[in-house]
Amino acid sequence: MIFSVLKSGGQVDLCLDSTVREVLVNDEGKTTGVSFINKKDRAENKIFGKVVILTASACSSKRILLNSKSKQHPNGLGNNSNMVGKYLHDSKCTDRMAFVPIMMNRKQYNEDGVGGMHIYSP
């Protein structure tokens, strides 16, 4: 996994081969940074910032929130309702390709179709 940290002055640090373990909070319960594990040496490190944004997958973001227990958040960060980690859906996808010889050298027209993997359909 890779995660990045935006520092003051617009600098970004990329943390390679690391996995976020939990979000750190101060005595008021506000986020202050993250604790992460370096996969190569298995050392736990901490990095601090003014804002923490979780953009992991549906399941990994919930894992991080549930690991983020503190005096102010005994059930995990953002889990006052005990609903974090329930009713999850993570997208798994597949792809197929085919070569159709009869389609070669034919007249072209706009055939982009609907496009995209995720289609909104109310």
pTM over 0.85: no
Taking only the tens place, the pLDDT of each residue in 32-69 is 999 999 888 999 999 888 788 888 888 888 999 999 99
* 119 found inside a domain: no
Check the CA dihedral 28-32-37-43 and report its sign: negative
Taking only the tens place, the pLDDT of each residue in 67-89 is 999 999 999 999 999 999 888 77
* 118 found inside a domain: no
Q: In angstroms, what CA-CA distances link 47 with 30, 73, 115?
A: 15, 20, 39
* 113 found inside a domain: no
* 109 found inside a domain: no
Predicted confidence at residue 117, as pLDDT, reads 57
